[in-house]
Chain A
Amino acid sequence: MPSLIARRLVQALLALVAVLLVVFVCLLATGDAVEMLVPPDATELGKTKSRHAYGLDRPVLYQFGAFAWRAVRGDFGRSFFSDRPALTLVFERLPASVELAVASTLIAIVVGVPLGIVAAVKRATVVDQLVIGVALLGQSVASFWLALMLILWFGVMLQWLPVSGRFGWASLVLPSVALSVWLLALLARLTRSEMLEVLGQDFIRTARAKGLGTTALLARHALRNALIPLVTVTGVSLGWQLGGAVVIEAVFAWPGLGTILLEAVLRRDYPVVLAGVAVLSTVFVVINLAVDVLYVYIDPRIRPGRA
């Protein structure tokens, strides 16, 4: 196990450097941050001075090298626009993103997996059709439309929940529900198909013949064998929701990472973009590592060293 983790960490480190380099070069190639920083009537001389002050007049590889050298010591530089440490800006937003991603993932798991199980157990019944329909709808509906509808009903008409912002648990409900729907639908469909496959296998028939109750059969034997794809999808989705929930964050004025990164990209605020990418990539790597480790516990057959 330690060798697996070590190997994955080395791979992750290389991937992280590659991602940062690509992002860095793309940002530099598609616009000049100084143009966004200076007043509109700034002279070429003024721009040149600013470019020099920010070190943007150096060769690209030199800039990346300097950035990487500082980054390994935890210094990602300061935002060009707010002159605050880029990593601090990212970390300030991280808790809100984690809160939203975890809440929406939990909702998706708690609702989606049981729905999938019920659909599989009640295969080819009205219940099954209903779950499939709901799942299809959940994957098709545009998230911003759903978000606005949720606000309209629960924020404006019923006034049960805040329209937007981050003010305690009540304000977490609508954005996390809106964000969870896609994953919920995916988990429901995936669980159904995996369960159907597992439920048709011999060991399930054997367990049933031995008189095992339905609940124990489903939970201990069927679900456990269907878990690997569910864990994979959930892990990847959790990583995506941390930094990619831009639409939901914008609609609900949720102060997460997605919006600050989008804004930084549009303004060519390199330090913030790179700090955000580094943090998100690291989180993604950690989640994937956790998923790999989970595989081993879910299915001991894939433990390293075992044939």
Chain B
Amino acid sequence: MRFVRMASTIRTVPLAIVGLMIVVLATAWSEAAAARPTQWTIVVSEKTGGADPLSEHGTNSQYYLIPHVVEALTRLELLPNERTWGVAPELAEKWSFADPKTLVVELKRGVKFQNGEELTAEHVKAAHDAFVAPEKPGRLGLILKALGKAEVAGKYTVKFHLPKADLSVVAATTHLLVPPMARHSMTREQFEAKPIGSGPYKVVDWPKDGTVRLEAWDGYRSGKAFPEKLIVRHVPEPSTRVFELAAGTAQIAWNVPIEALPTIQANPKLEVVSLTGGSALSYVINLYKTTPPLRDKRVRQAMNYAVDRAAIVRTILAGRGGVHPAPLWAGWLGASPEIAPYTYDPEKAKALLKEAGYPNGFAFNWTVTQGVFVKDVEVAQAVANQLAKVGIKATVQPAERARLLAQRSEGDYDVLELIWTMSWHPAILFSFTLHTSYPDAKLAAKWGAMPPELVKARALMEEAGAAQSLDEMGRGYARLNQLMRDEAFWLYVNTVDTLWGVQKDIAWRPYPAAFPSYDDYWHRTGKKAPESPTVPLVPR
């Protein structure tokens, strides 16, 4: 814990002083416009991991970095209609369900790997089998097991025989990275020494745990990507990432701290680029518990009415976020703009508490992470202060993530932190919050039968999951979303924008996707990038 506090302390360095000095420096810089650089250095907060697409690297970089070189069947992103997110083709041309338990994927033809191999269904089957076969399946292996068994049904056709009928399984194909067949006759180490894929970039150098150097591949099927060279470096300390920008040694800094935003904005060469609502922070309320009286809907609603979300976004997040109205926010399948967030109404909260038999409020314990998510402790403390105004006394206890996960596994929590990044299909989100967060046997033994609203929510989730079309599924999840909002399953707080500090001369904008590309993805897809540095998840 001492190290955790130390790491947290670093994040709260006096950036104001540092910022002031950078601003002074920035004014001395030349104003001359420069040509768009052809080499970009990106400093990221997570380790770069290794290059092998068939291995777990224990870092999120495997989801966004490797696809620059080794592509997946599909991508999860804003669809070309720019109205919704969904599964977009990458190596797959199209897909359909031959029957509810058979997913048929047609591959793009003429796709070449950097070693000259042509993409076929054999490649996809070999990749899938390699993911799901290991004795110790990692996170990806478990996700891809949802695709069942792969069968080569033609040179460019793969059939997945699903273990159960599920339309949303298409989303799993976004994780199915396909390397050339050559990978399967190599060890992981041999492949990582010279990684090969079909993606827009070739690997110049990819040390297991160091600076990754990529070079745009001339032979890419959609034309050469921009920039010519990409360098990706792991710089864990947020202030140092900002320094790299200020020194001009990095073009993009991912996850810049909110305290540093004025510094970046004051520098004429830099800008803050954001993807609005990239993630959300809320708290799952333990519906089983009678002490504290969280089983009572009125109590949970009172907690929601007691929180001034807009003030939290305005002050703690410096406006870089939004009010979180319900489990699903813009972009999700089943999200609805009509769902109104709980208003800030302390009087109504008090009235509800009184009606529930707790006119003087109650107390509960609240374990939160520290420094894992943007302003996690600060937001929790602000919420706790607001709850205190209606008589609810929350004891906020920062703890390691492992401790929180253990509490969840045992059902030993009152209110549990929930941090979720934007995706498209909410099956995992709902499964996590309606099933995994409630170990029924342990909870029922202590707190009584399953609460009826949880029974109803699970039934709605099953119903939505079994839908025969995406439209029907969306409507099903919308009903579940409304129920969870009205029954106050969570203590809803805020969404947070994903933030980057960027050199203006590279004019980089993130494409709304689960994992943005660090090249000019807009250029790659032939679309015009938005001029505003604030990129919405879904254009209005």
Contacts and interface: CB of A to CB of B under 8 A. Distances in A.
Q: Check if A and B associate.
A: yes
A12 B284 CA distance: 48
B459 interface: no
Given A92-B208, A92-B209, A81 B247 contact: no
A83 B136 contact: yes
A39 B58 contact: no
Interface in A244-268: 246-247, 250-253, 255, 259, 262, 265-268
B10 A156 contact: no
B244 to A, nearest CB: 5
A84 B247 CA distance: 35
Contacts of A231: none
B247 A262 contact: no
Contacts of B427: 41
A114 interface: no
B526 to A, nearest CB: 34
Interface string B30-71: 000000000000010000011000011111000000000000
Contact of A79 (B58, B240, B409): B58
B234 interface: yes
Given A82-B56, A92-B209, A266-B4, A144 B10 contact: yes
Interface in A128-171: 144-145, 148, 151-152, 155-157, 159, 162-166
B269 to A, nearest CB: 13
Contacts of A157: 21, 25
A53 B237 contact: no
A189 to B, nearest CB: 24
Interface residues of B, number: 58
Interface string B410-446: 0000000000000000011001100110010000000
A92 B247 CA distance: 29
Nearest to A258: B3
Contacts of B43: 253
A37 B406 contact: no
Interface in B1-47: 3-4, 6-7, 9-10, 13-14, 18, 21-22, 25, 43
Contacts of A253: 43, 233-237, 240
A145 to B, nearest CB: 7
B243 A267 contact: no
B311 interface: no
Contact of A39 (B50, B142, B406): B142
Contacts of A165: 211, 233, 235
B313 interface: no
B237 A31 contact: no
B143 A39 contact: yes
Interface stretch (B148-156, B294-302, B396-404): B396-404
Contact of A53 (B56, B136, B210, B235): B136
A218 to B, nearest CB: 39
A1 B4 CA distance: 43
Given A39-B139, A152-B18, A262 B246 contact: no
A84 B43 CA distance: 24
B402 A148 contact: no
A227 B143 CA distance: 61
B10 A247 contact: yes
Contacts of B209: 89, 92-93, 255
A59 interface: no
8 contacts: A30-B400, A31-B405, A50-B136, A81-B59, A81-B138, A83-B136, A253-B236, A259-B236
Interface of A: 30-33, 35-44, 46-47, 50, 53-54, 79-84, 89, 92-93, 144-145, 148, 151-152, 155-157, 159, 162-166, 246-247, 250-253, 255, 259, 262, 265-269
